[in-house]
Copies of this chain bind each other. A is one copy, B any other.
Amino acid sequence: MSPALADYTQKIIAGDLWSRPHLSARDRSIVTLAALIARAQTIGMPHYFNVALDNGVTPTELSEIITHLAFYSGWSSAFFAVEVLKGIYSARGIGPDQLPEEPVEHLPIDEESEALRAATVQENFGEVSQGLVDYTREVVFRDLWLRPGLTARDRSLITVSALVASGQQAQITYHLNRAMDNGLTQAQASEMLVQIAYYSGWPSAFSAMPVVKDVFADRRKRAGSAG
């Protein structure tokens, strides 16, 4: 239908993007899947679920990525992904024994930083929707984020990717800082933007750039004044 599109796909995406430095193929798989699931773009999912498994993302991690994105992109986005993943697991012979059994043992929480987060959100939004503030604390940060199937750094990478891909600029500052506190480097964040530009379009990446720029600058300033 479009020889040019086939050409770009082969030369730039397959031949260049995925082998760029600073972000591993495993991380690129995670960023790509987060971008696709956040926008419910089922057409790319079969290929990129397989790419993720080939690049070392485990079935447990895929399952956790989808669960994580149920909260960050809505329940139906997760269900679209589950439908596609069913076919992949069946084709690859991946069964329930390779998935985490409930209940899991939660990772320890950083009480100090969670207390700060919870207090800020309570003060800002308690009177707007106490229900949402409560679920955010109890279900999202004291449960979902502590599940052991993904590292905190990977959960952050998934979250920020979904935010950029779906144009949720207002939520990037908190989550990119959290991601970098969780070990994501500036070079990795820069490459994440490149990856998302291709999979969610240039505008999502460009609309995120001023926010990312401010986060980078603010962290430099804070680091500089820390001594």
Q: Mark A90-123, 1 if CB is under 8 A from B, else 0.
A: 0000001001111110000000000000000000
Residues A203 and B41 in contact in the complex (CB < 8 Å), given A130-B190, A135-B197, A193-B129 = no
Q: A168 at the A/B interface (Cβ < 8 Å)?
A: yes
Given A73-B203, A129-B190, A132-B194, 20 further pairs, Cβ under 8 A: A2-B99, A3-B102, A4-B100, A4-B104, A5-B63, A39-B74, A39-B76, A44-B76, A44-B79, A72-B202, A74-B199, A128-B193, A129-B205, A129-B212, A130-B190, A135-B194, A162-B201, A167-B167, A168-B207, A170-B206
CB distance from A59 to the nearest CB of B (A): 9
CB distance from A119 to the nearest CB of B (A): 16
Copies in the complex: 3
The complex places the Cα of A83 from the Cα of B82 at a distance, in Å, of 22
Chain B residues within 8 Å of A213, by CB: 124-125, 127-128
One of A6-14, A50-58, A177-185 at the interface: A6-14
Q: A131 at the A/B interface (Cβ < 8 Å)?
A: yes
Which A residues from 42 to 96 make CB contacts under 8 A with B? 43-44, 63-64, 66-67, 69-80, 82-83, 85-86, 89, 96
Q: Do A5 and B78 touch (CB < 8 A)?
A: yes
The complex places the Cα of A43 from the Cα of B207 at a distance, in Å, of 28
CB distance from A144 to the nearest CB of B (A): 8
Q: Do B67 and A2 touch (CB < 8 A)?
A: yes
Chain B residues within 8 Å of A129, by CB: 190-191, 193-194, 205, 209, 212
Residues of A within 8 A of B (CB): 1-5, 7-9, 12-13, 20, 35-36, 38-41, 43-44, 63-64, 66-67, 69-80, 82-83, 85-86, 89, 96, 99-104, 124-125, 127-132, 135-136, 139-140, 147, 149, 162-163, 165-171, 190-191, 193-194, 197-207, 209-210, 212-213, 216
Chain B residues within 8 Å of A69, by CB: 201
CB distance from A146 to the nearest CB of B (A): 12
Q: Do B43 and A79 touch (CB < 8 A)?
A: yes
The complex places the Cα of A216 from the Cα of B86 at a distance, in Å, of 44
Q: Name which of A44, A198, A202 has the most chain B CB atoms within 10 A of its CB.
A: A202
